[in-house]
Chain A
Amino acid sequence: MTTAKIQSSSAILAYLLRGLWERVNLDRIGANRRRDLPRELADAIVPLAVSQRSSLGFVRAICDRFEIDVTESSSCAQAAFAQIPRQFVPPDLLATFGADQAAIPLRWDVATTAIDFTALRIAVNENANLFATFATMPPAAGEEMVFAPTVSSAVTAPWAAVLPKRLITPRAFRTVWTQVGPLAHGHDEKHGNVILFRRERAVSPVTGEQYLAPFLAGNAIRGAWRDQIFGRLFQMLDVKSANLPPQRAHALLAGGSIEAGADSAGVNIPARRDARAKCPAWDLLAGCIDQQIMRGLLRVHDATLVCRENAWKLHGVLAPEVDGSQLTIEEFTAALRPADDLTQLRLATRHAHRDLPGSDGSQMIFNTEVILAGAQWAHSFQIIGLDGVSELAKSCMADFLVTFRADALIGAGNARGFGRIAFDAYVPGDGEADLPSPEIYRSWVANNADEIRAWLMGGASSSTETTTIAGVKATVTKGRGKGGKVQHDLATGEVVAHVETEAAHEAGAL
């Protein structure tokens, strides 16, 4: 889908929605619903685009939802029309209209044929509010400029397919996930009671056109892996995250926060080396700790849905073959299903349980868009500068992959049964050595448990002193920004007191 096509389809859609909106029967809608009707349109427009398979289906669904009668009837003298500025009307539809006619009246069904459905989905996905506002507000001076072609869209030279050849491929570990249940991954925006799957625009070098592709963000996968890698470390050390200094736990589990002055803080080389040496998991994932902004060794990539639209980027990676002969890109593309065929809306109900005494909940239905079970995703990760990376960090990754593979969950709604995947072990690419045995990491953790525990508690790399609090010998760790002093029992590692943290909470600062 070209930018020019998206822009022209957007314009026709906007004017068509306005034409349809004029026919909303407010008496049928009712007073309560009427107040929030534009918001309802904005919320409904994307889910309806996702759930339909054609522009006509989309228009029908809008009409159904808002009780719009598009036909000629006793209450309406004529069928629904859209008044579309001449510059947006395709030339083949202009023939029957006078050359001096600035606004072209197109019957709703004719206008619908001029809206490319792929363009419609891309356009509404990125700006539902624009269409809702345009449709529900009276015409305003200069509004047609919203859809004016941009400079880049004016480039109309035909696109010649380009595909990668003779690639020097970066070293990486790759696998293909196969879903054994539905998979959800929340969209960037909320759309009423519909939680859509996350999508973004992509560009095909084969067609030169744009498409809307479901994807799993590398950032989200990295976050989930971070939870599991540190969760496993806590388990091995018999440590509870709630017993760690809160900002330490926040750094380990979420990357921490850049406190004032962290970006210009004095470089603390011992602290950085200590962190990497004491905690291979931190070496992999890193973040901001002890006012040191550190980079992790682990690069986690987006997961790419194995679908027709993404064939161009998967062909070289997956090297698909049938009966020993490799498929061409054309054969591979034809063998895959379009992304839209792999999605489904799942209806769920949150019950009010009014039969239970004291229940004050309200009954609610909601939809979650999922990728169907059986769909596949290509995934890869890299460990930066692998040649020099410590065996421990690599072994830590190997340890994590063993547990991840045994109980692999990804995406949202795991508690509802979503996100279960299965996969073969990650395979190192050309020139890449396999990961070492996970036993290296496991035995290292077992042999250095006290030291690691002390680091997790915020010791070692920062200024510490020993004191006695209420008769208990404890370490006092200083200089943690707003978190302030945190005091731990040396014997159990448990937090004795959060002196400044508590004070800050009481003062409402945190």
Chain B
Amino acid sequence: MSWLVDNAGWLARAARWAPRTVEPLHLRAWLSSPVTWDGSVPITIEGPLQFAMIGRETGRLPDDVFNGAGRDTLIELPIPIADVTIGERLIACASWGAAPVIAIEAVRWRRKRAREEALGVPGRLLIKGGPFKSLNIPVGTLVTPWLDFYVRGDRALLEDLCRDVQGLGRDSTRGLGTVLGIEISSDPDDRSLLYRGAPQRALPIVCDGGNYDPRSLTPDTWDERETTTRAPYWKQASLALCAVPIVSVGLPIAEAA
């Protein structure tokens, strides 16, 4: 594939971001503004870390770097988080973002207006529709002072890369999901995948009698649905039937049910 050939250089260099020493860690991302939230799509940390890593290695934005890579091709991008194999799928040892019980759901209106007088449109300019449509769009948000992520990863590399994790969720270029800073500490409970038998992220359903077998999971803490299992999560290439945590704003993930 020509894209891979063209990008072989930096992809090889990027291997330095793979974890060397792994330990259970707790990443608390403090936020100074609400983060986009639709109640079902989780907020994850792998994407922002990949974003930061690509910026470090290429000096360019992922949109530009991956142009031509193919929408459905999943390219492995090393980040300082360890992987496990569950049902032949690589799964990052990283929980979904968990908000404290005081978090609330809200709405941020995003406005966009055509600069009518600056446009040289002859005659009448329609702003209720068409290419110059002005918008006032409600964006669902989660208002929370922080999000907790539990990972198994390389502390030193994470501390370095987190300096370029500038926003979480969509619309971070416009003020949402602004990261005030990230605290990294040890996670004695190793909650990256499971906590008290409850999944902390999407786990592919496997019936092997192991820890991730649905029969081993705590009932009423998870749901079953098709979802992607590998960042970037918008790529459908990693779609699988998964056990996913039930997330309820105002309750911790493990106690949501």
Q: Which residues of A contact B (CB under 8 A)?
A: 2-3, 150-153, 155, 157, 159, 162, 164-172, 188, 200-205, 208-210, 215, 217-223, 227, 240-247, 249-250, 253-255, 257, 259, 267, 269, 272-273, 276, 293-302, 304, 312-313, 316-317, 382, 384-385, 387-389, 431, 481-483, 495, 498, 501-502, 505-506, 509-510
- Size bin of chain B's contact surface: 35 or more
Contact of A219 with B59 at beta-carbon distance under 8 Å, contacts A241-B119, A269-B67 already known: no
Nearest chain A CB to B51 CB, angstrom units: 8
Query: Which residue of the partner chain, among A155, A313, A483, contacts B131 with CB atoms under 8 Å?
Result: A483
Nearest chain A CB to B24 CB, angstrom units: 18
Which chain A residues border B174 with CB–CB below 8 Å? 217-219, 222, 300
Query: Which residue of the partner chain, among A203, A250, A382, contacts B166 with CB atoms under 8 Å?
Result: A382
In the bound complex, what is the Cα–Cα distance between A133 and B103 (angstroms)? Answer: 28
In the bound complex, what is the Cα–Cα distance between A220 and B109 (angstroms)? Answer: 11
Which chain A residues border B34 with CB–CB below 8 Å? 200
Which chain B residues border A257 with CB–CB below 8 Å? 130-133
29 residue pairs of the A-B complex, CB under 8 angstroms, read A151-B250, A152-B251, A153-B250, A164-B183, A167-B30, A168-B183, A170-B164, A170-B165, A170-B182, A171-B164, A203-B102, A215-B33, A218-B174, A218-B176, A219-B171, A223-B112, A246-B120, A250-B114, A250-B119, A257-B132, A294-B64, A295-B61, A301-B33, A304-B32, A385-B54, A385-B56, A385-B59, A483-B131, A509-B130
In the bound complex, what is the Cα–Cα distance between A495 and B56 (angstroms)? Answer: 42
Which chain B residues border A153 with CB–CB below 8 Å? 250
Nearest chain A CB to B8 CB, angstrom units: 17
In the bound complex, what is the Cα–Cα distance between A481 and B67 (angstroms)? Answer: 22
Which chain A residues border B163 with CB–CB below 8 Å? 168-171, 431
In the bound complex, what is the Cα–Cα distance between A388 and B178 (angstroms)? Answer: 21
Report whether B173 and A299 are in contact in the complex, using a CB–CB cutoff of 8 Å.
yes
Smallest CB gap from B122: residue in A: A502
In the bound complex, what is the Cα–Cα distance between A202 and B102 (angstroms)? Answer: 10
Report whether A218 and B104 are in contact in the complex, using a CB–CB cutoff of 8 Å.
no
Q: Which residues of B contact A (CB under 8 A)?
A: 30, 32-34, 52, 54-56, 58-61, 63-64, 67-68, 100-104, 106-115, 118-126, 130-133, 143-146, 159, 162-167, 171-176, 178-184, 248-251
In the bound complex, what is the Cα–Cα distance between A295 and B62 (angstroms)? Answer: 9
Nearest chain B CB to A100 CB, angstrom units: 33
Report whether B145 and A204 are in contact in the complex, using a CB–CB cutoff of 8 Å.
yes
Nearest chain A CB to B223 CB, angstrom units: 16
Report whether B159 and A168 are in contact in the complex, using a CB–CB cutoff of 8 Å.
yes
Which chain B residues border A204 with CB–CB below 8 Å? 145
Report whether A388 and B55 are in contact in the complex, using a CB–CB cutoff of 8 Å.
yes
Query: Which residue of the partner chain, among B114, B144, B159, B251, contacts A203 with CB atoms under 8 Å?
Result: B144
Query: Which residue of the partner chain, among B61, B101, B180, contacts A155 with CB atoms under 8 Å?
Result: B101
Best-surrounded residue of A164, A220, A244, A300 (most CB of chain B within 10 A): A164
Given contacts A155-B251, A162-B146, A205-B102, 6 further A-B pairs with CB under 8 A are A151-B251, A219-B174, A246-B119, A273-B64, A312-B145, A481-B131
Report whether B67 and A272 are in contact in the complex, using a CB–CB cutoff of 8 Å.
yes
In the bound complex, what is the Cα–Cα distance between A501 and B54 (angstroms)? Answer: 40
Query: Which residue of the partner chain, among A273, A297, A388, contacts B58 with CB atoms under 8 Å?
Result: A388
Report whether A164 and B181 are in contact in the complex, using a CB–CB cutoff of 8 Å.
yes
In the bound complex, what is the Cα–Cα distance between A176 and B222 (angstroms)? Answer: 45
Smallest CB gap from B171: residue in A: A219
Query: Which residue of the partner chain, among A165, A254, A301, contacts B32 with CB atoms under 8 Å?
Result: A301
Report whether A218 and B250 are in contact in the complex, using a CB–CB cutoff of 8 Å.
no
Nearest chain B CB to A280 CB, angstrom units: 14
Smallest CB gap from A303: residue in B: B175
Nearest chain B CB to A274 CB, angstrom units: 12
Which chain B residues border A498 with CB–CB below 8 Å? 121-122
In the bound complex, what is the Cα–Cα distance between A510 and B123 (angstroms)? Answer: 10
Nearest chain A CB to B66 CB, angstrom units: 9
Query: Which residue of the partner chain, among A200, A218, A501, contacts B178 with CB atoms under 8 Å?
Result: A218
Smallest CB gap from B139: residue in A: A219
Report whether B125 and A510 are in contact in the complex, using a CB–CB cutoff of 8 Å.
yes
Report whether A299 and B166 are in contact in the complex, using a CB–CB cutoff of 8 Å.
yes
Contact of A188 with B109 at beta-carbon distance under 8 Å, contacts A201-B104, A210-B104, A317-B180 already known: yes
Smallest CB gap from A253: residue in B: B115
Contact of A294 with B131 at beta-carbon distance under 8 Å, contacts A200-B143, A201-B143, A241-B119 already known: no
In the bound complex, what is the Cα–Cα distance between A304 and B32 (angstroms)? Answer: 8
Nearest chain B CB to A279 CB, angstrom units: 15
In the bound complex, what is the Cα–Cα distance between A482 and B182 (angstroms)? Answer: 46
Report whether B143 and A203 are in contact in the complex, using a CB–CB cutoff of 8 Å.
yes
Which chain A residues border B182 with CB–CB below 8 Å? 167-168, 170
Query: Which residue of the partner chain, among B59, B110, B132, B249, contacts A250 with CB atoms under 8 Å?
Result: B132
Report whether B68 and A267 are in contact in the complex, using a CB–CB cutoff of 8 Å.
yes
In the bound complex, what is the Cα–Cα distance between A168 and B28 (angstroms)? Answer: 10
Report whether A254 and B114 are in contact in the complex, using a CB–CB cutoff of 8 Å.
yes
In the bound complex, what is the Cα–Cα distance between A502 and B124 (angstroms)? Answer: 10
Query: Which residue of the partner chain, among A162, A172, A240, A294, contacts B63 with CB atoms under 8 Å?
Result: A294
Nearest chain B CB to A461 CB, angstrom units: 14
Which chain A residues border B173 with CB–CB below 8 Å? 222, 295-296, 298-300, 384
Contact of A384 with B121 at beta-carbon distance under 8 Å, contacts A164-B183, A201-B143, A202-B143 already known: no
Smallest CB gap from A258: residue in B: B131
Nearest chain B CB to A210 CB, angstrom units: 6
Smallest CB gap from B165: residue in A: A170
Best-surrounded residue of B58, B120, B178 (most CB of chain A within 10 A): B120
Nearest chain A CB to B190 CB, angstrom units: 21
